[in-house]
Structure 1
Amino acid sequence: MRESMLGRLREANRLRRLGPEAMAERGRARLAEQVAFARANSPFYRRLYRGLPDRVTDPALLPVTGKKSLMAEFDDWVTDRAVTWAAAQEFVADPESAGRPFAGRYTLITTSGTTGAPGIFVVDERALTVNVALASRMRGAWLGAAGLAKAVARGGRMALVVATGGHFLVAAGSERLFANPVTRRIVRVFSAHASMEELVAGLNRFRPAIVLGYASVLSLLAREQQNGGLRIDPLLVETAGEAITPAERERMAAAFGADIRDTYGATECPFLTDGCAHGWYHANSDWAVLEPVDADHRPVAPGELSHTVLVSNLANRIQPILRYDLGDSVLQRPDACPCGNPQPAFQVRGRVANRLAFLAPGGGTVEIPSMVLNTLIDRVPGVGLFQAEQPAPMALRIRLTCATGVDAEQVWRTVLDGLARALADRGLGDVDLQRAAEPPRQSRGGKFRTVIPFESAQHGELSHDGKP
């Protein structure tokens, strides 16, 4: 890669040694550079920032943006005129293109519409390199010198248990970043859509020192480890995409005999924070800005739960993301974190890892992680919003909206056929798949919860009028 990952890693380590003021100062300088670049190269930002000072180092001066408004202005938002909404949609529609360079040099990623608007995001080499550098620095800090030495002694192997078959962040980014034969041997992607038997067998052969994956999938793998089917001895297990309870974290740590860590980020800014051993997320303020705000986008004091959070990604130049409403409710720690990291620390009210449990033909249950179902639907071209609710132990009701200009009937057939095959592969051919006439419903928190297990459906965790 033209961007030097090692150079970015050295700089990140140097800034952390210099302390929080040095990191904050570098972040302010990068914000000014990012705003200037966006103004000069994005027609959308040129209009939006008309009248602002020539140099902006205070994010509060910037207007708030969001997924829906940016997607509507896609062609004017991007800073490379060769990148267009039409080309991006054509690229997304081809499943074989996942992980390949888009427009010759970018990585394209899609997200589901949990806040009411699906998204297509384009990532440049600079942002990918920053992401890998900061993730490497974070995992190195988690492991420590002794842990790193042990990981190297075990071959440094890292397993990524993530969604495949679509334009998802980790899988698509890995195709670009780990393309050479050396990294292919030590970094391996395992499909979260595979059966548990396949996952267990593959991981037993690979014997990773580090495992990263969706929390709901890793939770099931921890059970396999407890039962003796999975026999790996990782040093570090990193959960992603979903929050886990303290009790579940302890169970997983005991099962794997490993440190269980996580972090808080998003497709729009995956390197937003570093996670610590005390369950807090510390902002990477040299490369990102994280602002907890109320419903009117005014700052919320530390110790108070925010209505939402505004995020600025200071690395990605092709699609500048500045003061972007991420939709998550966060709490900033009002005192120093006992882990010793001086960066602002946050907790997030996010989606909790859960599973759909169906009755197995021979007795017992078959569990499917919610993230697996989520990504299975999300990768179907033409899907807008979607929601899978389990109204009964052997039923699944699908609510769906389709993108403008697509064949809605074809989208529905693809979704339902894909779900039927996935369920049948797990011995669940008798599940009643229901096509709902109504659109997805908002939860009381305002987001569109994409997967609702039977227990949650029974307790009425949706607002049927679409309001909190």
Structure 2
Amino acid sequence: MPQEHSSPMPWLGRDIRQARKEGPDGLAARQRARLADAVARARTHSPYYRELYRHLPRRVDDVTLLPATDKTQLMARFDDWATDRDVTYDRIHAFVDDPDMIGQPFLGKYMVATTSGTSGRRGLFVLDDRYMDVGAAHTSQALATWLGPTGILRTVAHGGRFAQLVATEGHYAGYSGYRRAMRQGGWRSKILRAFSVHTPMPELVAQLNAFRPSVVIGYTSTVMLLTAEREAGRLHIEPTLIQPAGETMTTADTDRIAAAFGTTVRTVYGATECTYLSYSCAEGWYHVNSDWAVVEPVDADLRPTPPGEYSHSVLVTNLANRVQPFLRYDLGDSVLQRPYPCPCGSTLPAIRVQGRAGDILTFPTETGDEVRLSPLALSTLFDRTPGVELFQIEQTAPTALRVRLRVSEGADPDTVWQAVQRELELLSADNKLGHLTLERAPEPPQQAPGGKFRTVIPLP
């Protein structure tokens, strides 16, 4: 394998292409070597992993030897988790509480991303340049594969503009990455533009019509809302590629988008913890970038789930991020591993995903029209409200929402509720839903049978 160096992008692109040519053996060799390196660095520089791995052999290149981790465990040991001892919870918390720092380098060298979390619990994540470079290289490879030579020429001919549909009111990975690109300048800053998912739909449609993007990337629920606008004749863009992400999609969803826009639709399955985890193919399978990531479908006891069966959860190992290692990290999704080679010809492992479905809330307006809100517009609202530890919002009637809250220790429940109520009323007014009623539930958020908290529950 080539030696890594301080400017890895050209090397990464070549190695990714070479790994795919070599097939399963080349991919596995890279995975084992990078896993051994990741484990060695983690146990050397992270007190948490040093303690967790104290009984393991000196060299580990078999991921199944590692104990599993999850967000709760890692966030509870935040200061011991990072390999850079200057990365502390107090410093990160102060950083993300300042909106002026979105996209700015933390400690002068790291990107910070938060998650609103489909579990309703916020994550604070530190991403190093190596992780960002690996993600960019995999994205470039996926775009080249999806578009092909003809599609690339069409994209350039249409201006090569990329529209990113992101949450713009927090340190979320998409918006932080966008702000980082704008700050760094270069060619990406000239073709990228972020559009807020909080924008009322008529305004968002007008903005996109004016921008005329060649590629649209964004949250699935927002893309589905835009698809309805296209079908209604209000959205006039003609992208060469649409890439929904962040929420599970059905074949019917992707077919509908493709038909509405007359374009190629490809999707991404990943998370802030591993953004480059997998990309879809024309057959509808997600192909795992197994040279830089490990995916393990497991049952409730964390034993391997056989190919062809949906798992209880999935353990993900990110082999790129060194500052905050994610090793056998329980992502909480149910996935199915394809038991046979994919017809698309890719030698990468292929999976399908059942978890993290995004639900859209639909409300009637007082004039008889219909307004739909994506789950992200609600989840980011709660995320930026101080004192909210866990939330759940349920539509109990066409114009009624029931809000369940678990407040942080030391926070005043009445003060937190007043802040949440104020934010929801502003969101309602912005979307001409002033007649919406809000109910404060006395009970805390309720877990689904599988143990997860479904944060947004629409009417049946």
CA distance in 2, matches of 1:112, 1:166: 9
> Corresponding residue for 1:139?
143
Matched, 1:112 2:116: yes
Map Cα deviations across residues 135-167 of structure 1 (whole Å, 9 max, x no partner).
111111011111112112222211001111011
CA distance in 1, matches of 2:417, 2:45: 39
CA distance in 1, matches of 2:96, 2:417: 17
> Corresponding residue for 1:288?
293
> Corresponding residue for 2:330?
325
SS of the residue corresponding to residue 433 of structure 1 reads: strand
CA distance in 1, matches of 2:252, 2:50: 49
1:393 to 394, 398, 401: 398
> Corresponding residue for 2:101?
97
CA distance in 2, matches of 1:359, 1:226: 19
Matched, 1:354 2:348: no
CA distance in 2, matches of 1:187, 1:299: 41
2:379 to 362, 365, 374: 374
Map Cα deviations across residues 292-331 of structure 1 (whole Å, 9 max, x no partner).
1111111121112211111110000110010111111111
Deviation at 1:133, TM superposition (A): 1.0
Q: Percent same amino acid among aligned pairs?
A: 52
Map Cα deviations across residues 49-95 of structure 1 (whole Å, 9 max, x no partner).
11211111100111111111111110010011111111111122223
Using a 3 Å threshold, how does the CA distance of structure 1 residues 115 and 371 change in structure 2: closer, same or farther?
Answer: closer
Matched, 1:21 2:13: no
1:62 to 66, 90, 93: 66
Matched, 1:195 2:210: no
Q: Unmatched 5+ residue regions in structure 2?
A: none
CA distance in 2, matches of 1:291, 1:359: 43
Report if the CA contact (8 A) 2:119-2:453 is conserved: yes
Report if the CA contact (8 A) 2:120-2:391 is conserved: no
CA distance in 2, matches of 1:238, 1:160: 10
Name the aligned partner's letter for residue 100 of structure 1.
Q
> Corresponding residue for 1:265?
270
> Corresponding residue for 1:464?
none
Deviation at 1:411, TM superposition (A): 3.2
> Corresponding residue for 1:301?
306
Map Cα deviations across residues 432-464 of structure 1 (whole Å, 9 max, x no partner).
112222111112232111111112xxxxxxxxx
Name the aligned partner's letter for residue 51 of structure 1.
H
1:47 to 51, 58, 63: 51
Matched, 1:87 2:95: no
Name the aligned partner's letter for residue 260 of structure 2.
A
1:37 to 38, 41, 50: 41
Deviation at 1:394, TM superposition (A): 0.8
Map Cα deviations across residues 165-210 of structure 1 (whole Å, 9 max, x no partner).
0111111122113431642220110000001122111111111111
Deviation at 1:372, TM superposition (A): 1.8
Deviation at 1:257, TM superposition (A): 0.9
Report if the CA contact (8 A) 2:20-2:348 is conserved: no
Deviation at 1:407, TM superposition (A): 4.7
SS of the residue corresponding to residue 275 of structure 2 reads: coil
> Corresponding residue for 2:438?
433
SS of the residue corresponding to residue 218 of structure 1 reads: helix
Name the aligned partner's letter for residue 405 of structure 2.
L
2:190 to 185, 189, 209: 185
TM score, norm. by length of structure 2: 0.95
> Corresponding residue for 1:463?
none
SS of the residue corresponding to residue 286 of structure 1 reads: coil
Matched, 1:7 2:5: no
> Corresponding residue for 1:383?
388
Report if the CA contact (8 A) 2:70-2:331 is conserved: yes
CA distance in 2, matches of 1:321, 1:97: 24
CA distance in 1, matches of 2:127, 2:349: 26
Name the aligned partner's letter for residue 371 of structure 1.
L
CA distance in 2, matches of 1:406, 1:91: 20
- Report how many aligned residue pairs link the two structures: 455
TM score, norm. by length of structure 1: 0.93
Deviation at 1:363, TM superposition (A): 0.7
SS of the residue corresponding to residue 454 of structure 1 reads: coil
Using a 3 Å threshold, how does the CA distance of structure 1 residues 116 and 165 change in structure 2: closer, same or farther?
Answer: closer
CA distance in 1, matches of 2:396, 2:281: 38
Deviation at 1:115, TM superposition (A): 4.0
SS of the residue corresponding to residue 271 of structure 2 reads: coil
Report if the CA contact (8 A) 2:335-2:353 is conserved: yes
Deviation at 1:2, TM superposition (A): 5.9
Question: Mean Cα displacement is larger for which, 382-391 or 306-315?
Answer: 382-391
> Corresponding residue for 2:172?
168
Deviation at 1:231, TM superposition (A): 0.7
Deviation at 1:23, TM superposition (A): 1.4
Map Cα deviations across residues 6-49 of structure 1 (whole Å, 9 max, x no partner).
33222212221222211111111000000000011001111111
SS of the residue corresponding to residue 358 of structure 1 reads: strand
Deviation at 1:403, TM superposition (A): 2.7
> Corresponding residue for 2:217?
212
Q: Unmatched 5+ residue regions in structure 1?
A: 456-468
CA distance in 2, matches of 1:100, 1:2: 21
2:126 to 96, 119, 122: 122
CA distance in 2, matches of 1:438, 1:92: 29
Question: Mean Cα displacement is larger for which, 442-451 or 404-413?
Answer: 404-413
Report if the CA contact (8 A) 1:113-1:384 is conserved: no
Name the aligned partner's letter for residue 365 of structure 2.
A
Question: Mean Cα displacement is larger for which, 48-57 or 114-123?
Answer: 114-123
Deviation at 1:423, TM superposition (A): 0.9
